[in-house]
Structures are given as C-alpha cells and as structure tokens.
Structure 1
Amino acid sequence: MKKLLFVLICLCTFFRYANSQSLLDSTVLKISKSYAPEKIYLHYDKSSYCAGETVWFKAYLLEGGLPSAQSKTLYVDWVADNGTVLSHVVSPVLSGATNGQFEIPQNYNYRSLHVRAYTKWMLNFDTAFLYNKDIHILLKASTETPHTAPAIISSIQFFPEGGDIIRGVTNRVAFKANDQYGRPVEIKGTLEDSKGTLIQSFSSVHDGMGSFSFTPQQGIDYTVKWIDEKDKEHTSVLPTIKPSGVSMQMTIEDTKRVIRISTGASNEKAPQDFHLVGTMNQGLVFTNDISLNENSSVGRIIPTEELLSGVLTFTLFDENWTPIAERITFINNNEYAFQPIMEVQKSDLNKRKRNELEIQIPDSLQDANLSIAVTDMSIEKDTSENIISHFLLSSDVRGKINNPAYYFSNNSDSITQQLDLVMLTNGWRRYKWEDVTKGKLPAITHPRDNTYLHLTGQLFGVPKSQLSGKESVAIILKDSTRSRLEIMDVAKDGTFGDPEMLVFDTIKAYFSLKSKFLKQATAKFSIDRLPAPNYTNFSKNLQYVTPSFDTTGASRHSLMVLKYFDIINKDKAQVLQTVTVTARKKPSVDVLDAKYTSGLFSHGDSYQFDLINDPASGAYGDIFSYLQGRIAGLQINTTSFPTTFKWRGGGGVGLFLDEIHTDVEMLQTFPVSDIAYVKVFRPPFMGGFGGSNGAIAIYTRKGDDRVAGSSGLSSNTIIGYTIVKQFYSPNYDIYDSKNDQLDVRSTLYWNPLLRSNAKSKKIDLSFYNNDITKSFRVVIEGITKDGLLTHFEQVIK
C-alpha cells in the first residue's frame, strides 16, 4: 500500500511538472506569436534646437526585429517641461516607417523638450518600454543668464546578481552611482561588517558602475562606505540579506554564457528541483532542469553563437514554477548591421554651391528604408544614441543607460565586460511570470491599429430593417484649402466608409442622405484616433536632460538660429508705402463671385444670385424651387422627381456644388439656408461636366456668411492624421526672390524618404550649401526589409 501511494505521488508530481512545463511553453509561444512587442526609434535632423525651429523626424517601427506590418498609426507627443502637451502628432505607418515635423513655439523658454512615441498596441504592455527622448533646447543668447553649476547630489543603487543576496553562498552585487540628473558618478568604497572589519574594497569601473563579491555570514550585518568625485563621504545599506535561498551567477566566456546556481542551507535534505529557462525577444530559447542538494552548486554552459543579437534573459524557477532568480546578458554576434557606401559625386563648400551624393546599398540586401540629415559640421552633435543602440539595447531594458551607442563602437573585451555591468544594473521584465506559468495571456485593452484612419460613419435614427443596402450618403469634405464631394453606399447595418480614403488634418464633413425616407436620419463619423494623453504628473515622474553649459558648437548653432529669425522678422517688418484708392462699391453678387468662385467658374456668361442678402430665399424648400422662373430660357420642372432642367432649344444642365460635380438628388436635399451664392452659366459652358449645355454652380456659405442659429446642412468635424510638411531645400540654380536673403540654415538637407529596391541599389541626391558653412556632417540611418540596421556618419570637408 505504501509503495502504491509513493508511486501515485510520483506520478502526480510528474504530471504536474509536465503540465506546468507544457503550459509555460505554450503560453510563451502564444505571446511570442500574437503579443510580440513593438519598438520605436526616431531619427532627427539634428540633436538640439532653438525655440521657433522645426524638428524634422523619421520614425522606425519594429516588431519581432522586422519592420512592423501591422500597426498603421503612430502617435508622437511633444511635451514641455511643465507637462503641457504642445502637439499630438498622428502619422500613418507604411512599411514600418513614417515621418513628420514639430514646430517649437517661438516663446518656448525651457531647456528641454520631451518626446514620447507609441502605438495603440504598445499601450497594452509596460509603458516603461514606450519611446522617450529628451531633446536639448538651446536658449537664445539674448535671453541667457549666467549659469551657476548646482551642487551635485550623488546617490548609489545596489543590484544583487540574480535578484537577492543569500547568506552562506558567494554573491555578486553590482552598483551604479549617479547624480541628481542621472549622470554617472565615479566612486570608490569599502564593504565592512558590523564590527568595522574590512570585507572588500571596490571602485567604479565604467560610468559609475562596478561590482563586488562576498559571502555574508549568519548574524552579521554589512555596510557600504564610499566617496564620490568631490571626495564627499557616504554610508549606504545593502539590500536585505535573505537567510536561505538560491544564488544565480553568470560569466562570459567567448561565445558562451556560464551559469552557476548555488544553494545555501535549507530545511530540505532531499535534492531540490529547479528549472532554468532562457528567453529572447519574447521567445523561448531553451529550458534546462537542475537538481541540487543544500550547500551545493552546479554549472551550465549555454552556447550563444547561433542566437540573434540582443538581450537574453535567464530565469530560474523552483519546482512549482515560481520564479526565484533572474539575470540578463547581451548577445552581440554582429549580424544586425549593414554599411552603405556613400560617394561624394560633387563637393563644393563655397557659398550656395551644389553638392551631389550617391548612396549605394550592398547588392545582397533586400529593400532599404533610409533617412538622411546633412548639417553644419560645426554645430553640436549628440553621439550617445543611434538606431542600432536603441533597438538592440535601450528599448529592451529599464532605466537610463548613459551613452548606449558606446557599447557598439567596437567588439573589445573591455566593452563586453562594461556592457555586462549595464545588464547587471538595469532591470528587465517584459514577462509577468506569475501569469505565464498559469497560462494567463496579456489583457488587451487597445486593439491594434491594423487599418489606417479613414473616412467611416454610421446612420442613426432609421430602423435597420428599412435599409436595403442600396441607399447612399453624399458627403462634402472641406479642409482649409479645398472641398470635394464623395458618394458612399450605405450597408444594411447603416455603416458606410472607404478604407482607402485616409483623413488628414481637420476637415468638416457635410452630409446629405440621398433617399426621401432617410431624411430624418443623421450620420455620425468616427475616426479611431487616440486623444492626447494627460501629462499632469509629468514633471514628477520623468527626469529631464542634464542642464549643460554652452559649448562652441552650441554657441555657433544658437547664433545661426538667431540670425535666421532676425532675417525673417526684418522681412515681415517691411511695410509697403500707403496707397489710397478711390473706387465705387462693388455689387454684392460681384463681391460673392470674387469670394467664392475660381478658375473657369469665375468667368463666363451667367446669371448671379445672392442668397445671403435675399430674405425671401428661406421660404423655398429647395434651391431649384428658388431658381424656377428666374432664369430666362431655362426650364426647371420641379413637379417631377428628380427635378429636370432644359435650356430652350438645347440639352441638359451640369450641376456643381462648391465647383464639384454632383447630381440633382443631392442638391434637392440641400438646405437653402446653407447656400450663399448661385451662378447659372448659359450654354456653352466648358468648366466641367456640364459641357456645352450650361451649368448651375451652387456655393455653400463660408465662415461669417453662415446664418446665426441656422442648422444648415448637417455636419461633423473629423480630425485625422497630422499634415506632413516638406523640408525646404533651396535651388540656387534658378531665380527665386526668397533666395535674396542671407542663408544661415544649420540643417542643409533632410530627406526621410530614401528607398532602395531590387532594381536600384543606388540613391542619388543633391543639396546646396548655405552662405557660411565650411564643412558638412552627413548622418544616414535606416533598416532593410529583413531587419538589418545602419547608422552611418561621414564628414565632408
């Protein structure tokens, strides 16, 4: 009986272990396939700006190491130091990239500008992994005040390897010392026991980081004493020392990682079972089972030469699959980058001379998506981060990494060991292992933006049973520059839309339902666009860029910008000599004609009707009833449906609404109170679809011409993607009056849309020098279709 009971217990334990292992494997697989995290990086035209300048950017979006093909919308918040959202930029993502700009307000007087970029999908996960960047703002020289260096306040943090300090086993404890701005502070110190006995001396190795090892004994407390760069003495307490447990340590040996797991004293005499799991990029790399007695240790060698570069996480679980220790390491197999070739076809550093570059992508690579910035070489340049260091390192660890690009400058052993200190002193936890081991998947509150922001809507106020699927809605879309008419079919559920009609900027949508029984219905338009978030507690939660003293480069940059705005302001200040003109007042129809018509509609033999100043117009049910009998030679029959038109001895009539061709059914439902002006052209009219048969052009009221209290045509305001502007690059080979001004541009050329493909691996471009620059800095960043990254810099002198 006892033997049978023992067998049953063993079987239950086996099946529980097998089920736990299977559950973890399947959950991790589901997460890696369906919940892969996205990463964002922004390439800017330069690293610092002055108030009033435009920040030009190119955003790269990756998922699983490849350009994201799923999320279609990117959000970029530009936040002032006081937490005010200055701009909420919304951009469409194509092939894992998008671009845009932000104009810094002229009166902006903070030393930094915070940028946060994200997709809806990223908001489902830990917000610590959203893109965050502080851009340094150069205060104008005229507003600079003498800057007194603040007193440096140093602090230290301790990071036990694996997560805890365990008594009775050898522990490695890493540390990181910083000042109040997050800058590294070099230190030296000692570890002492409660009796003041020296246990270990240590000092920082790189950027305020270092480590020491010791074996804590029972009943003894430990204290760290250290001295900072200003020889100020400090005393700190180590994290709590656990009386028992498991220690996990890792060492780097060539292309391998050696993991050593040690146990201290415990109440369990039988061997304990552990599970070592390796994960990378949300995927499972390996699992390994380990059995240990008390006061013993075991090593495992993990080969890494076949892995992709990036952060590899080792997690140790106990027999119940509870995580008890974790360690991260960076794998650098140098397979992630490619090097473009840039040839200077024509170099001329003289004033306003043309320069030509050719960029060539290796033939073996797939399509490349690149951005390029050419700036004055003498202005300051931030070299601390680039697209490679961000995607491979910064975007995968918590906390601030000082100068992350440094760790990719070469492959020396010293940099490898320094980078391992970064791994020891920065947290990493994309997985909530407590959920994963239970098979619990991440909760999704923000569905992925897998379609672009497009025009879509739904009818309300009409029973769906009355909809046959043959109805349609006419929509007039108006933005700041033009109007256009769209006819959309209404589905049986009352919805309508066009997924290919992307919405940019803020537009007004006027709609008319083209069926008599739909007249009581209304339409609501929806754009699935996230509003700007609230950054009320921003200043309390985020650290700004370090206040810095002026440098030669920053000073030159600031002077260039000051000169640039001085030129612009002087140009605006020019006032033309006053000219007095005496003229008779124009008839109101001529005023409306000049205000509303354009192109061929502004000419021609026509009848004109001013509805704004005609109080009788409001008594008519539609515009055709108003026009009936008012136009010699034009027969308008309003008793038929739809209304018919015919010139005496001629054909039909072309109909236009705000100079957009439309139909009679649309115009019959259009409120007369919303019409400002009507122009009826006699035959022949060559302005559009009306051909030689004449035309009726109807214009809707604008701005102050609208009748107060009048409902007019039903409308919605729709906010879509942010308008993308084009970087101005002058062409000095042709005459332009704008070129008469002094040219002091600090960014000479910016192009976020460089592409290569299978047919063409070469990209040719040209730009013109300004009036003062003597050398250029060229920065190229980008990614190929299969996920290879590039950061390329070259100076042209």
Structure 2
Amino acid sequence: MKRLYAFLLAGLIPGLGAYAQKVDSVLAKLGEEFTQERAYLHFDKSVYAPGETIWFKAYLEAGILPSDISKNFYVDWIDASGNVLYHTATPIIDASAKGQFDIPASFKGQLIHVRAYTTWMQNFDSAFLFNKDLRVLQLSAKKPEAVTVKAEIKFLPEGGDLLNGVNGKVAFKATDQWGKPVAVKGSVRNSKGEKLDSLITKHDGMGFFNIDAKAGETYTAYWTDEQKQAHTTQLPAVKQTGATLKLSGFGNRKNFLVERTAEAPDELKTLYVVASMQQQLVYRARVDLSESVAIGGGIPTDNFPSGVMLVTLFTANWVPVAERACFINNQNYSFAPTLDVVGDTRRRAKNFIDIDVPDTVGANLSLAVIDGGVGTDTSDNIVSHLLLTSELKGPVYNPAAYFKNGSDSLKQQLDLVMLTNGWRKIDWESLMADKWPQLKYRRDSSYMSFLGKVYGTTPSQIREAGFINIIFKAKDSTQSMVFLPLASNGTFSQPDMIFFDTVKVYYQFNKKRDLAERAAVTFSTGLLPAPGTVANIPLFANWLLHDTTGLGRSRFFAAEQARLAKLLKETTLEGVTVKAKAKRPIDLLDDRYTSGLFKGGDAYQFDVGNDVVAQSSYSVFQYLQGRVAGLQISNATGGGSQASATWRGSTPTFYLDEMPTDAQQLQNISMSDVAYIKVFRPPFFGSFGGGSGGAIVVYTKKGGDVKAEPGKGLDSRLLPGYTPYKQFYSPNYSTTVSDEPDLRSTLYWNPYILTDPKNHHFTVEFYNNDISKKLTVVLEGVNKDGKFVHLVQTVE
C-alpha cells in the first residue's frame, strides 16, 4: 500500500545512527505491509422490533484513505448469549458494502449484537473489530429487575509510570460494570493518611490530579460513588528510576516535556521522541538530559490529518520507556454536501431530497429517513467512530459529542479520553528485533473465488482429463459455464466470481467423462464460514432498564405493527383489498426477459422492439448515445474503431442475454435482433469487478425454441455464495392505491449514492406513511480523499 503521509518530519536530527534508521524502516514496513483497516456501519435506525429488517451500509478505512485492502465483508448477528443468529457475507465495492438482516418474528431477546470485520482485520487485535448493540423491543417483556451498580476506578499515570521525585499527572476513569461513566469524589492520601489532593470527576467519570511521588511510599484513593458507597483503591507503585513524557497544548503544536528521575543510568540521559499516526512516522527528535532532568519541545501539527497521534519516548538504546496518546483535531476531516429536504408530513404525501456535492472528488453516501419520534443513536457516527473510537480499546461514552465544535473545553475533555483509554500500542521490542505480527489471513486479492479439488485419482488420470466443465445454475434459472484446467494435484479455480444465495454446480470431466464415477470433487468459495458462538461480547445491558421518548415512539410502532400482523392473520383475503394500476408495458417486458439480479433495480429501460429510432441505429452504442445521463460513449458508429463506454470514470460491465460479453460483440449485434436494453446505474452488484461503472444489458428477441435443461444428467453440488440483497420497499402512491395501513418507521433507505465531479447532484423521492408528523433525515458518507460527512435534518 502506498505511504499515506507526505508531511515534513519536524525535528529530524542528522547523525542519529543506525537505530534511528531502524525505527524509520520499522514504521515504514508496519505502515506498508501491516496497515490496519477500520470499519463503520451506518444503520437505518437504532431500535427495532421482531420481524423488522435491519439495513446497513459499511464503510472501510485504512490509514487516512478509503481502504483498498479487502474485497469481502462479514457481519455476525449475535444474541445476548453469544449465539450467531446469522452470518452476512457481501462484496466490498468502493471501500464499502451493503446488506440487511431480517430479525426473526419469533426472536425473544432484547438486543442484537453486531460484529463486523474483514478477513484482514482478523489478523490483529479483535478489540478493534466493529461492535455495536442494537435494541430489540419486546412488547411482552417484563421490566428488568433493578441491578445494583458496581463502580470501579482505574488510575493511569501520564506516560505510563509514577516516578520517584517527579511530579506527575495521574488520570482516572470511574465506570460501572457495563463500562458506563460514574461520578465519584474523594481524596488521595499517603501511607500516613495525609491528604495530597482531591479526587473528583471532571467529565463522564474521568478526571486527574497531580502527585509528587516518592519511592517506597504507597498512595491510596478513598472515594465514594453515586450510590454513596465507600471504596479504597491503591495507586500504581512508584519506580525508583525512569523517564516520563507529558503532553500539552491544543493549538497548532503539541508541546512535550520529557523528565527523568534524579538518579538515572546513562541510557536515560539521551532520549528520543517519536510520534506516529496510523503507523506512519510524523515526528522524531533527540533529547539531551545529561545536564538537566527535564527538557521541553514542540511538535508542529498544523499540517497533520485529524486523528490519534501516538508519542513514544525511547532510551539511548531505543527501548521504549514512556508513551502518550493524544488527538489532533485540525478540522480537516469533513466535506460539505448540501442537503435540501422538501418535506410534506401529510398522510402518504410525496417528499423530495436534493443532495449536491460541489467538490472536485467523488463521494460515496448513504441516506436514511425515519419517523422523527423514533429517535436515532446520536452517541456515535461515521466521524467519531473512524477518527476516534476505532483507534481505542474499551468503550468511549458518547464519542460524537467531542466533535460538536472546536472549543477548548471539548478538547480538554477529549484529552481525558486519550489519557484513560487504551490505543493501538506498537510492540516496539518485537519489531526492533524483527519479530513481525504473524498473519493468519492474506489480503483479499479478489472477490469470492470458485475453488475445487478432485480426490481419488492418479496424476495420470488428471492429465488425461485435462479440464473440468462447470455449469452454474442459480435458483432463478440463470446460468453460466466455465472450462477450468486441472492442476497436477487435482485443484482448479476461477477467481473474482460474484453470485448470491446458492447455485447448483454441475460438473463433467472434459476428456475422461467416466472419471466422475470414481472421483470425489469438492467445491468452496473461499468465504469465511459463520462462527457458531462468539465469546466475550461487550454487552451494555443496563440500558435496558431505561426508557426514553424515542423508545416510547418505537414501542408504539412495534405495537401497531404487531396488531396489524395479527389482524391480517385472522382476516380472510376478502377482508383486505389492494387496488393497483396495471403494469406499464416496459415492466411487462422486464418480467419477460430478466431474471435474478437483472430484474427490476435502478436502471434505464429501453423497449427497442417498439422504438422506430432503434431501427435506424447502427449499433447498441449509437442507440444509447445521449440517452443515459453520465454515460460517455465513444466510436458509437464503429468506422473501423471499437466502441467504448465509461461511467463515472469506470467502464460498465457488458452483458448479452445476462451472460458477460465485451463491447465488440455488442457493437456487432444487429439492432433488428435486439428486444430490450437495461442500463444499470453504478454500482451494479452483479458484476465481477464490483460494478463501479454500472452495467449495460442487451436482450435479444426470443424465439419459439425451448432450451434444454442445463446440466441434465451431470453430477452436481449446491454451493453457497454471497448473502442475497433485499430491495428496500418504498411504495409509490402516485401509481398504487392500497387499503392496507402504512406503518413504516423507516420511510427511505438508500445505501449507495455515488457522485463525481461531473455528476454531483442527486435527487430522491419517497412517500410518507399514515402517521408520521416529523421526519429525521440522516446522510453519512466518505469521499475519495477520506473525508467524512454526517448530516442530520428534521422535517415537521
């Protein structure tokens, strides 16, 4: 992966020696070969009922840019006991993925834990996988019994240690058994009982005090929690010798103070300060403490990206002795699309949303519209998660609050978070000894692969067979065929396949067809299987004790939906009348010719057989020229040159009768043989390469022949693929009239809104339900430069 930072390294001093070069090379290799991905999931809402669908959009970052490491994304949907209810596997397109999970109507739990990851992410600490709890409302659930809150406190000296004779800052964090903040107060005393400082929380259970530590002395905190329970907690032991690192400043530089004990070996009299962000070197300096016990300096940060910076203090022998994390907020992490909502909250009224991204780079967005009374999770969002919480160990309470503005008070509160939470510590000792992380999983070099192996044969039989013929047949009868060479060990493969749900795989050996009777053949896709159970899930169950206005509104929706479901179950079909207008001719054409992923969808449709203009066109490309906004076509009339097409900087995938083809073959088709054309907007998820350029699908006229059943008489196996996508239901009340009550709490969900400099305006429309009088619109996303957007608007 390319280096992500091109900043001037301040403080570089010539002649630092081989060890300094070693640190540089270690960070360079760590950043290039062991870049860690971070994932964030945007959900349509945060509270659900049994039987509802959870819709999600995943965003992936690596360093400061959208990740190009992985091709496949996984989500485990887990109950409170750690049982995996469902395992989602989806392709990653433009550093993002989409999907959904249908909560079983019989589900009795009150929360679903979501764990999301890529294969590459599983090489590293599992604490940095995406984890989130979603509330599931149970109308018949008993109110949980009151649980006694158990408070605990942790003390964390700045830099790492309390040192003899060195005045140090000690941060603390008080939480309950679920990781939520607890307010405490008390005092810090020495072994004689003398009070040294007060102990009182400053923000969300966190605070700090200063102490002049002495070797051989012990220090104890006496404190009471919110329940007036008294506690005593001993502070960490004091070290006789050592060095510490302190940071301060919230402007365009971070000031550091390096201080050692009065008694110190020679290796603590020359020290090195190294700062890194996303495993990339951003600062290095040498500190001379041979004549004094303390010295300060500054790290210029005004050109740095926003995010967590790790500052490490090394001895003269380049052994780490102190470390401090801080947050750099240069307000350079966001971009600003406009979100214009023309809302109408009357019953089943039409609403419009205009999105414009006036930028020089493309953007990848997701949009949710929900009932305004249901409430959304405002504690975390794409900005706070990918910049902050995904970099820290342990829960951060209400992280989004630290990005409301750039005030000094918020910066001070955020610094308390950095003092009291774990971070991605670099194992310097191992790396300096050339002991690198053991990678169990390789980077995804392709999408799902079709992998197989033949057992029970000799090498000579494999050579005689030569190839294996494969026919894939999906549930909707779509089919494709490949001929794969057999390796000497009986293996065969086809990379970069994309199919959903399951396919039936028919196979036959090319030159030795009777071999199938004696050989065993196995197939796989290379996708990670679903884990049965997941241990050590951080469930914050105490929130089930509380209800809010948002939960009350969600409970109302859940109750109404349950009542309607029961009514429909007990009512005969004559009791429910649905009136719908007749389908348009183009929709009937779509039903006749399309199947699987090609049916319906976000596409331009052309009834070529009934279009007189088509008969005068030289080719498919000339016919489409100028008819599809954003689709650029060259050499449409041929003239000895091959036609080509681009859409948003990428080449569309071409299909002929739903089989992959190329531009030349489409260009040579006579328009008199074409019945129907569909042009899918990017991204088209049925394409092998991810479909970032959309797809052009050409259907030839059907004759009266009946095709033979593919694969009939051949051996076959059933093979699972990617999790199938569901289409979000959004009724169009301008063409459909229904007597059935509309009680949707999610009124609109669009996980893929893609823009580029030439196509930066996007308009959506949707209809209100029967009861919502206030709507909440949430837009999130990332652009090609790795900047984020999180916008929320309310319509009343």
Structure-1-length-normalised TM-score = 0.78
Between 785-794 and 260-269, report the one with greater CA deviation. Answer: 260-269
Look up the match of 1:310. Answer: 307
Q: Is the 1:323–1:433 Cα contact (8 Å) retained in structure 2?
A: yes
Q: Of 178, 183, 187, which aligns to 1:181?
A: 178
Rate the CA distance shift 1:472–1:269 in 2: closer, same or farther, 3 A: closer
Partner SS, residue 546 of structure 1: helix
- Take 1:743 and 1:267, find their aligned partners in 2: how far apart are those partners? 75
User: Of the candidates 347, 351, 354, which is equivalent to residue 351 of structure 1?
Assistant: 347
2:106 and 2:75 map into 1 onto residues whose CA distance is 21
1:465 CA drift (Å): 5.4
Per-residue CA shift, 1:741-788, capped at 9, x if unaligned?
111111100010111112111100000000000011000000011111
Shift of 1:472: 4.1
1:134–1:545 CA contact under 8 A, matched in 2:
no
Q: Which amino acid aligns with 2:344?
A: D
SS at structure 1 position matched to 2:562: helix
- The residue type paired with residue 760 of structure 1 is N
- The aligned amino acid for 2:224 is I
The aligned counterpart of 2:718 is 717
Distance 1:449 1:119 in 2: 9
Query: Is this contact kept in 2: 1:365–1:784, CA < 8 A?
Result: no
> For the structure 1 residues 545 and 791, does the alpha-carbon distance in structure 2 shift closer, same or farther, using more than 3 Å as the test?
farther
**Shift of residue 576 of structure 1?**
6.1
The aligned residue for residue 389 of structure 1 is 384
Aligned pairs for 1:282-681 (under 5 A) are: 282-293=279-290, 296-344=293-341, 346-362=342-358, 364-464=359-459, 471-482=466-477, 484-491=479-486, 493=488, 495-516=491-512, 519-520=515-516, 521-535=519-533, 537-538=535-536, 543-544=540-541, 546-575=543-572
Question: 1:718 deviation in Å?
Answer: 1.5
In the alignment, which residue of structure 1 is the partner of 2:65?
Answer: 66
Q: What whole-Å deviation, never above 9, does each CA across 1:570-605 have from its counterpart, x for those lacking one?
A: 32334469xxxxxxxxxxxxxxxxxxxx999xxxxx
Distance 1:84 1:271 in 2: 51
Quick one: distance in 2 between partners of 1:152 and 1:15? 56
Whether contact under 8 Å (2:144, 2:545) holds in the other structure is no
CA contact under 8 A between 2:250 and 2:411: conserved in structure 1?
Answer: no
Whether 1:195 and 2:198 are equivalent positions in the alignment is no
| Residue equivalent to 1:19 | 18
Distance in 1, matches of 2:543 and 2:484, equals 57
Q: Which residue of 2 aligns with 1:133?
A: 132
Mapped contact 1:464–1:492 kept (Cα < 8 A) = no
Q: Return the alpha-carbon distance in structure 2 between the equivalents of residues 360 and 230 of structure 1.
A: 51
In the alignment, residue 505 of structure 2 is paired with which amino acid?
A
C-alpha deviation, 1:382, in angstroms: 1.5
> CA contact under 8 A between 1:113 and 1:137: conserved in structure 2?
yes
What letter matches 1:386 in structure 2? N
Q: Is the 8 A contact 1:387 1:790 kept in 2?
A: yes
CA-CA distance at 1:109 after TM superposition: 2.3
- Alpha-carbon deviations, 1:388-409, whole Å to 9, x = none? 0000000011111000000000
Contact 1:152 1:179 in 2 (8 A): yes
Aligned letter for 1:731? N
Contact 1:561 1:744 in 2 (8 A): no
Q: CA deviation at 1:107?
A: 2.4
Q: Deviations over 1:179-214 (max 9, x none)?
A: 122211112211111111111113111001000001
CA distance in structure 1 between the partners assigned to 2:146 and 2:242 by the alignment: 46
Report if aligned partners of 2:446, 2:496 keep a CA contact under 8 Å in 1: no
Q: Is the CA contact (8 Å cut-off) linking 1:263 and 1:294 kept in structure 2? A: no
The RMSD of aligned alpha carbons is 2.9
Give the match for residue 734 of structure 1: 735
Contact 1:462 1:518 in 2 (8 A): no
In the aligned structure 2, how far is the partner of 1:79 from the partner of 1:270? 51
Q: Which letter maps to 2:475?
A: S
Deviation at 1:725, TM superposition (A): 0.6
Q: Distance in 1 between matches of 2:320 and 2:20?
A: 13
Further displaced range: 243-252 or 400-409: 243-252
Structure 1 residues 270 and 283: alpha-carbon distance in aligned structure 2, compared to 1, 3 A threshold = closer
Q: Deviations over 1:11-40 (max 9, x none)?
A: xxx999723222221121011112111010
1:92 aligned partner: 91
CA distance in 2, matches of 1:464, 1:740: 68
Partners of 2:473 and 2:507 in 1: how far apart?
Answer: 11
The question of whether the paired residues in 1 share the 8 Å contact of 2:250 and 2:408 is answered with no
Change (3 A) 1:68 1:249: same
Give the drift of 1:53. 1.2
Sequence identity percentage:
40
The CA distance in 2 between the partners of 1:213 and 1:576, in whole Å, is: 75
Contact 2:506 2:711 in 1 (8 A): no
Task: Measure how far apart 1:483 and its partner are.
Answer: 5.2
Q: 1:81 to 1:660 in 2, by over 3 A?
A: closer
Report what 1:164 is aligned to.
161
Give the distance between the partners of 1:559 and 1:88, measured in 2 at CA. 30
Q: Which amino acid is the alignment partner of residue 299 of structure 1?
A: G
Deviation, 1:295, is 7.0
Determine if contact 2:450/2:526 at 8 Å carries over to the other structure.
no
Question: Aligned partners of 1:254 and 1:487: how far apart in 2?
Answer: 61
Alpha-carbon offset, residue 223 of structure 1: 1.2
**What runs of 5+ residues in structure 1 fail to find an aligned partner?**
1-13, 578-597, 601-658, 662-687, 702-711
| Structure (1 or 2) with the larger CA radius of gyration | 1
User: Quick one: structure 1 residues 18 and 532, their matched pair in 2 at CA, closer, same or farther if it must change by over 3 Å?
Assistant: same
Question: Conserved in 1, the CA contact under 8 Å of 2:242 and 2:261?
Answer: yes
Matches of residues 126-275 of structure 1 in structure 2 within 5 Å? 126-140=125-139, 143-266=140-263, 268=265, 272-275=269-272
1:457, 1:220 → 2: CA distance? 67
Residue type of the partner of 1:721?
Answer: Y
Deviation for aligned residue 1:385: 0.2
- 8 Å Cα contact 1:469/1:492 also seen in 2: no
Deviations 1:198-255 (A, max 9, x none): 1111311100100000111244321111122233222111112212211221111522
Residues 788 and 495 (structure 1), Cα distance of their counterparts in 2 relative to 1, 3 Å cut: same
Match of 2:276 in 1: 279
1:315-371 deviation per Cα after TM superposition (whole angstroms, max 9, x unaligned): 111122211110010000011101211123x43211001111101112x33111100
**TM-score, normalised by the number of residues in structure 2:** 0.78
Supply the distance in 1 between the matched residues of 2:266 and 2:225 (Cα, whole angstroms). Answer: 46
Deviation at 1:154, TM superposition (A): 1.4
Deviation of residue 695 (structure 1)? 6.5
Find the aligned partners of 2:14 and 2:330 in 1 and give their Cα distance: 39
Q: 1:483 to 1:256 in 2, by over 3 A?
A: closer
Q: Is the 8 A contact 2:465 2:510 kept in 1?
A: no
Determine if contact 2:163/2:214 at 8 Å carries over to the other structure: no
- Which deviations, in whole Å up to 9, do the C-alpha atoms of 1:139-184 show, x marking residues without a partner? 22xx132444322221111111011111211111000111122211
SS in 1 for 2:423: coil
Counting only pairs closer than 5 Å after superposition, residues 644-793 of structure 1 correspond to structure 2 as: 697=708, 713-735=714-736, 739-793=738-792
Q: Which AA in structure 1 matches 2:552?
A: S
Question: How far does the alpha carbon of each residue in 1:458-487 deviate from its partner, in whole angstroms, 9 at most, with x for none?
Answer: 444555556679954333434433252514
